[in-house]
Amino acid sequence: MSMDSNDKIIVYVDSDIKGLIPGFLDNRKKDITSIIDALTENDYEAIRIIGHSLKGSGGGYGFDNISDIGRLLEQGAKTRNAIEIRKCVERLSEYLERVKVVYE
């Protein structure tokens, strides 16, 4: 799946967890702000924790891309790589703007 186009990214989610999805996605938007704030403070441990959480939770809700971004974010925090962290923030932000959930 290309992240370069403006096309929507369709994610199929079990309708049993439909009530959880809006809050989950809203919290990921809040994570972006938290990551940027932590980066400003050079708080790489906070970024690592957020990345680890994203890595663990994304796939459980059907958002494998969020898990992938979380893994990269966690690695970037462990190596204190601000450039990689910023790329992850951009990728997560774009993903959240483009994702369209279809319940099945």
CATH of the domain at 70: 1.20.120.160
Please report whether residue 36 resides in a domain. Answer: yes
The rounded distance, in Å, linking the Cα atoms of 35 and 32 is 5
What's the pLDDT tens digit per position in 16-37? 999 999 999 999 999 999 999 9
Please report whether residue 3 resides in a domain. Answer: no
Q: Provide the pLDDT for residue 2.
A: 40
Please report whether residue 73 resides in a domain. Answer: yes
**DSSP-derived pairing of the beta strands 99-103 and 9-13:** parallel
Domains of the chain: total: 1
Please report whether residue 18 resides in a domain. Answer: yes
Q: Provide the pLDDT for residue 90.
A: 98
The rounded distance, in Å, linking the Cα atoms of 29 and 81 is 21
The boundaries of the domain holding residue 90 are 9-103
In this predicted structure, the answer to whether residue 3 has a pLDDT above a threshold of 70 is no
Determine the angle formed by the axes of helices 82-98 and 64-78, rounding to 10 degrees: 170
What's the pLDDT tens digit per position in 46-77? 999 999 999 999 999 999 999 999 999 999 99
What's the pLDDT tens digit per position in 71-82? 999 999 999 999
Instruction: State the pTM of this model.
Output: 0.90
The rounded distance, in Å, linking the Cα atoms of 10 and 1 is 10
In this predicted structure, the answer to whether residue 6 has a pLDDT above a threshold of 80 is no
- Helix, strand or coil for residue 72? helix
Long-range CB pairs of 18-21, under 8 A, 24+ apart, other chains included: 18/103, 20/61, 21/61, 21/101
Q: Provide the pLDDT for residue 5.
A: 56
Give the C-alpha distances (Å, rounded to integers) separating 8 from 18, 35, 63, 80, 85: 19, 24, 14, 32, 24
